Structure 1
Amino acid sequence: MLPQCSHITKKRGVFYYRRRIPNTHTGEIVLSLRTRVFRVAECLADGLDQEFRRLIQGVTTDDKTDLPTILRTYLKQRLDHDMWRRADTPHAPMFGSPVPGKSHASVDLEWIEHELAVARGELAARAYNQQRPLIDEVMEAHKVPEQYRNALAHGILQANVEMWETVRRRTLGEFTPIREAPLRADVRSAAAVEAPTGATLTEVLPAFLDYAQKDKGWRGQTLAQNKASYRMFEQCCGDKPVAAYVKTDLTKFYDLLRALPQLYSKSKEWAGLTLEQIAEQTKGQDIQRLTMTTVKRHFSALGVFFAYLKRRGEYPGENPAYGFEFPTKGRARHGRDMWEGEPLARLFASPVWTGCLSKDRRSRPGSLIIRDDKFWLPLLGLYHGNRLEEFAQLHRSDVRYEDGIWYMDINAEDQKQLKNEQSKRRVPVHPYVQGLGFIEYVKSVAPEPGDRIFPRLRPGGPDKKFGYFFTKWWTQYRKNIGVYNKKLDYHSFRGGVTTKLSAANISLDVRNELLGHEGQSIDQQNYLKGLPLRMLADAIACVNWPEVQIARVAPGRNLKDSSCPAASSGSSDVA
């Protein structure tokens, strides 16, 4: 009697293994088992069946699209990144900043619970479009046909939920087995690994820099600084095929940067020496070294470069520039204080806002309140926290009205300069600033859409920024009125707004949207845009400064606006 198994047949007394090829494939496999004994045939068929299933899983369709493998790789990469991040930040929260009175794990768990809720919500809603940039990147990297877009998107939504659930378990101290593959890959003998080949650093850089200038808007000082980062990296680690750079190369560069003197490129004493020679020659000397801010800037440039290579499939594995720490001392890690209390009150009780002597003598008391860039830019910074250049380059068309709300549209149109893609946003005009007459000022000085709101500002400096000469005036003015502190500059307004929003329990997503910050999660970085304007307006209204008391100027008082002739770009305006 023949066995009850469709994969075993008998012909002329000999058993055969027979399987039809599934799905869209045609034909069948027929192999002689070369035995007349059923038990032997059964064992042989079982082995062949296992091998058949293993092979057929890798050939699921004619286009060889293997979504399960792609999704497993995606999940593994994200979990591996989490593991390395934990190893790199043993004494601090992985997400956000330390909070007094809270353990690092508690800070992390709050963040993780939020991200997990977002991931579950997206999965439940099948929010495939929320993942479009990531899906496009994965489809391009793995050559996934368009018909699998939704299936891939759904799989990634599921993987995101699984990833955050695993991260949560790890944070709670629940055991997660360490996968062996990543560890084995790190300790393999160099002789057993074929040396990577392909285009070298200097061969790839021209195309990358062209991309960075066209797509990321690198120019002027930003472009020059990042080019210097790549030159230094090449001098330190050599001009190798880009796929050959590994984490230890970046570690070597990190250590070198921390050892370099702050003036390594300017002192004649070190002219003609390599970076390694300068570091060795100055070892043990009591001199200032590169700040961690500078080191971080170099690594940021490298991170962008390797991310570009990964998207193009030219670099395997994790981005080697990620995972480094850039510690600074205590609360001074940001290098700035916050405007508040007496210094803030003294600043806005000074002649620019209470009455100055003349246009060219702003720091001397008088009867004139001149409402131009010098009057408005500090107020805009204090109540909104934007970067100076975002205000300085505004046009009339950028101040808009929608659903009863006046707002500033921060965009890169008309060759405006923005720090990054996250800088594009809508910022409602603060009620206090409106009460001081800002909207009336805009309508008066810039009646046409293409008119500049601050027409007296002229571009200057390496990047031709409209805030360049204002910054020089701002420094001198603060010195003249006795409130100068090198840690209290225009950018300090930004930190003040962040603090006020946090104190008002405004959510991190809203804070990031208002300030143009890049979120730390993938969702925040790529997909969270377009929050309701009313939500943003309610949030910005929470920024209050009781120290600032500026009277609204009555009509007919000695008031001048920025329609007065533009001063020479080199004028100090602070006599």
Structure 2
Amino acid sequence: MEAVRVDEKFDAHRRWLASQNAPPVDHLSEEQLATIKQAYLHHLLDEDEETRLDGFKEPEAISVREEPQEDAFLPSFEEYEELIEEMDAVTRTHLARGKRDVFFLSEAEEVLAWEGIETRLAATSPDWKKVIRALQEASVEAHEAKRRRNRGDVVPTPPAPLEQPVSSAAGTSAPKVSEAFERWAEQKALGNRWTAKAKNDYRNWLTLFIEVCGDRPIKDYRKADGREFKDVLTKLPSNWRKMPETRNGDLRSAVERGQKSGLPTISIATINKGLGRLNAFWEWASSEYDDAPLNVVAGLKLDDTTSARHKRQPFSTEQLQALFDSPIYSGCYSEKRRSVPGDTDMRRSHWHWLPLLGLFTGARLNELCQLYVGDIRKAGGIAFLRLTNEGEGQRIKGKGDDIRSRDVPLHRELIRLGFWEFAEDQRQDGHTRLFGQLKADASGYFSGKTSEAFSTYLKQIGVKTAKTSFHSFRHTFKDACRACGVEPHLSNALLGHAELGTGSVYGTGGYGLPLLRDAVDKVDYQSLSLEYVKPYSG
């Protein structure tokens, strides 16, 4: 036992030396301040117990001590009562007025050096005020407990905080969550693993988390914070930033107003997307920082019974017919007023070609918007699109080794409608990009404004639904591949989907152009008429 006590003393001394050599911190967390207050309250009431065990100066006639003791330096009970009242009055006055005196400053310096706290607070830190206030609050609570003891009430001394340092290194090893995110973002940016759009999306979700749970040192978060954030998300109205009832205010007020107005809430898919973003961050943080908690959002995703297919729907034949009979193809008033009938020919515009390319390739909108003229190629007499991330500003969706270029042969209808000739004219005119009028947005994507504008156009011609957008062309193409007998591994290769098992190689890495061309040309939209889609004529 003696050896154990010696070891404990050496451990405590080593911690004290470490705290003195550690760099001073500028801020203390709420948890640290609570530990300091608890330690000081324990000290004051433990000291009071010692005083009462020593006894007070008593008249000799009523002394109950078995053996006479020197009590010349002991206070009388009445003097002790008076001292408590005097100190309490002064402390309450200072606490009420936010005053900090020399006594509590010296107490703060001493408490910060106690075993189990061992924290160096920078001399210029604004948190000295918080430490002194915590000690004043503990003193007021201790004085009240002493009064009860003076009346003969049984008032236990609260336990001391666990003897574990509150971490002098909190300023470096446990930054605020917002600071930790920036460090994570810097690491993700290495090797271009993150696009600006992805970074902003992750930051937006973390900003919402901070709005709910606060921007605290990362070590202070607990699972309860993750549950609280999830609870708020489940009540958050859809499009709350745009709705008149909810756009002016913070997240919690949006929830409150949304509930009062009976607004529909965001989907389970959106909630799970946000929790997934946070999950990635907290997984990194728990590995990066020694004193970070385990992932506070792990396992919180909601069960989603909605299949991926039903989150976005393919276009119906009626929707497609309305689109390809609409003014973009039959003639519109102008490019700006493209939903109004007129005499403007749009065959040299991206508005003409993007829906056709989506229908016959199933490519993602940004993959098409970012095309260079040189990405429309021929090999062995087969014309094809090279969908790639090799050019400046180009990107392909995927993770790690799944991010690969792929070649998609041009469907016979695209050849008939003159897409190759359109690309050749762009090349001959000296254009670098196929659709030069499209510019990258702040996130580096060429499709942002086009996606919104296409959805607006669908509304204007009366075919928009909640589950249709340009992305619906991918579902439409996939369904057409299935209906026309295209083998799943070939349709996956054309769409850029990774295959299950060992069949994960696609495009030129796995299938030749002749095989892919035969697969593409099987696709036939038999009930769809393209009579208003005039072939390109230069």
Structure 1 length as normaliser, TM-score?
0.51
Task: Quote the residue 1:459 is aligned against.
Answer: 439
Contact 2:225/2:296 (8 A) holds in 1? no
Contact 1:295/1:326 (8 A) holds in 2? no
SS in 1 for 2:347: strand
Contact 2:227/2:300 (8 A) holds in 1? no
Letter of the 1:415 partner, please give it: G
Cα 1:389–1:246, aligned 2, differ >3 Å: closer, same or farther?
same
The Cα shift of 1:280 comes to 6.7
Letter of the 1:400 partner, please give it: R
Contact 2:494/2:516 (8 A) holds in 1? yes
Per-residue CA shift, 1:279-309, capped at 9, x if unaligned?
5786676233223343133123224324545
Letter of the 1:398 partner, please give it: D
Q: 2:237 aligns with which of 236, 241, 261?
A: 261
Contact 2:221/2:296 (8 A) holds in 1? no
Structure 2 length as normaliser, TM-score?
0.54
Cα 1:195–1:244, aligned 2, differ >3 Å: closer, same or farther?
farther
1:218 aligns with 2:180: no
The Cα shift of 1:479 comes to 4.9
Cα 1:244–1:488, aligned 2, differ >3 Å: closer, same or farther?
same
Provide the rounded CA distance (Å) in 2 between the counterparts of 1:272 and 1:348.
40
Task: Quote the residue 2:322 is aligned against.
Answer: 346
Q: 1:377 aligns with which of 331, 334, 354?
A: 354
Task: Quote the residue 1:500 is aligned against.
Answer: 480
Task: Quote the residue 2:393 is aligned against.
Answer: 415
The Cα shift of 1:501 comes to 2.7
Provide the rounded CA distance (Å) in 2 between the counterparts of 1:306 and 1:242.
9
Letter of the 2:471 partner, please give it: H
Contact 2:375/2:386 (8 A) holds in 1? yes
Q: 1:548 aligns with which of 521, 525, 528?
A: 528
The Cα shift of 1:250 comes to 3.7
Provide the rounded CA distance (Å) in 1 between the counterparts of 2:206 and 2:310.
26
Contact 2:365/2:470 (8 A) holds in 1? yes
Q: 1:390 aligns with which of 361, 367, 390?
A: 367
Task: Quote the residue 2:148 is aligned against.
Answer: none
Contact 2:362/2:475 (8 A) holds in 1? yes
SS in 2 for 1:400: strand
SS in 2 for 1:209: helix
Task: Quote the residue 2:263 is aligned against.
Answer: 287
Cα 1:435–1:528, aligned 2, differ >3 Å: closer, same or farther?
closer
The Cα shift of 1:543 comes to 2.6
Contact 1:350/1:481 (8 A) holds in 2? yes
Per-residue CA shift, 1:456-488, capped at 9, x if unaligned?
x23265536434554455345445545444543
SS in 2 for 1:364: coil
Give matches, 1:2-81, under 5 Å.
Answer: none
Task: Quote the residue 2:510 is aligned against.
Answer: 531
Contact 1:213/1:219 (8 A) holds in 2? no
Cα 1:270–1:495, aligned 2, differ >3 Å: closer, same or farther?
closer
Cα 1:481–1:531, aligned 2, differ >3 Å: closer, same or farther?
same
Contact 1:212/1:218 (8 A) holds in 2? no
Provide the rounded CA distance (Å) in 2 between the counterparts of 1:460 and 1:212.
21
Task: Quote the residue 2:71 is aligned against.
Answer: none
Letter of the 2:350 partner, please give it: D
Give matches, 1:148-547, under 5 Å.
Answer: 198-200=173-175, 201-214=177-190, 215-220=192-197, 222-237=198-213, 249-262=225-238, 275=251, 279=255, 286-306=262-282, 308=284, 321=298, 324-325=301-302, 327=304, 333-334=310-311, 336-355=312-331, 362=338, 363-364=340-341, 366=343, 368=345, 370-412=347-389, 413-421=391-399, 422=402, 424-426=404-406, 427-447=408-428, 451-455=432-436, 457-459=437-439, 462-463=442-443, 465-471=445-451, 473-475=453-455, 477-479=457-459, 481-485=461-465, 487-504=467-484, 506=486, 508-517=488-497, 530-534=509-513, 535-547=515-527
The Cα shift of 1:453 comes to 1.1
Who wins on radius of gyration, i.e. which is larger? 2
Cα 1:524–1:203, aligned 2, differ >3 Å: closer, same or farther?
farther
Contact 2:481/2:522 (8 A) holds in 1? yes
Per-residue CA shift, 1:492-545, capped at 9, x if unaligned?
1121112223345655554444323466x68788x7773213344343333321
Provide the rounded CA distance (Å) in 1 between the counterparts of 2:233 and 2:410.
42
Cα 1:533–1:468, aligned 2, differ >3 Å: closer, same or farther?
same
Provide the rounded CA distance (Å) in 1 between the counterparts of 2:221 and 2:286.
13
The Cα shift of 1:395 comes to 0.6
Cα 1:460–1:504, aligned 2, differ >3 Å: closer, same or farther?
same
Contact 1:339/1:496 (8 A) holds in 2? yes
Letter of the 1:540 partner, please give it: V
Contact 2:324/2:530 (8 A) holds in 1? yes
Provide the rounded CA distance (Å) in 1 between the counterparts of 2:214 and 2:235.
19
Task: Quote the residue 2:16 is aligned against.
Answer: none
SS in 2 for 1:343: helix
SS in 2 for 1:409: strand
The Cα shift of 1:442 comes to 0.7
Cα 1:249–1:316, aligned 2, differ >3 Å: closer, same or farther?
closer
Provide the rounded CA distance (Å) in 2 between the counterparts of 1:239 and 1:359.
47
Per-residue CA shift, 1:187-245, capped at 9, x if unaligned?
xxxx999999843433421121123445233325x433321211232444565776886
Task: Quote the residue 1:168 is aligned against.
Answer: none
Contact 2:286/2:293 (8 A) holds in 1? yes
The Cα shift of 1:384 comes to 1.3
Letter of the 2:482 partner, please give it: S
Contact 1:395/1:452 (8 A) holds in 2? yes
Provide the rounded CA distance (Å) in 2 between the counterparts of 1:270 and 1:468.
24
Contact 1:436/1:552 (8 A) holds in 2? no
Identity over aligned pairs, percent: 25
Cα 1:415–1:349, aligned 2, differ >3 Å: closer, same or farther?
same
SS in 1 for 2:341: strand
SS in 2 for 1:338: coil
Per-residue CA shift, 1:132-152, capped at 9, x if unaligned?
xxxxxxxxxxxxxxxxxxxxx
Contact 1:237/1:249 (8 A) holds in 2? yes
Provide the rounded CA distance (Å) in 2 between the counterparts of 1:275 and 1:473.
28
- Structure 1: tracts of 5 or more residues without a match: 1-190, 562-575
Worse overlay, 413-422 or 357-366: 357-366
Provide the rounded CA distance (Å) in 2 between the counterparts of 1:346 and 1:414.
36
Letter of the 1:297 partner, please give it: K
* RMSD (CA atoms): 4.6
The Cα shift of 1:368 comes to 4.6
Provide the rounded CA distance (Å) in 2 between the counterparts of 1:411 and 1:308.
29
Letter of the 1:230 partner, please give it: L
Letter of the 2:479 partner, please give it: T
The Cα shift of 1:454 comes to 1.7
Contact 2:386/2:405 (8 A) holds in 1? yes
The Cα shift of 1:323 comes to 6.9
The Cα shift of 1:344 comes to 1.5
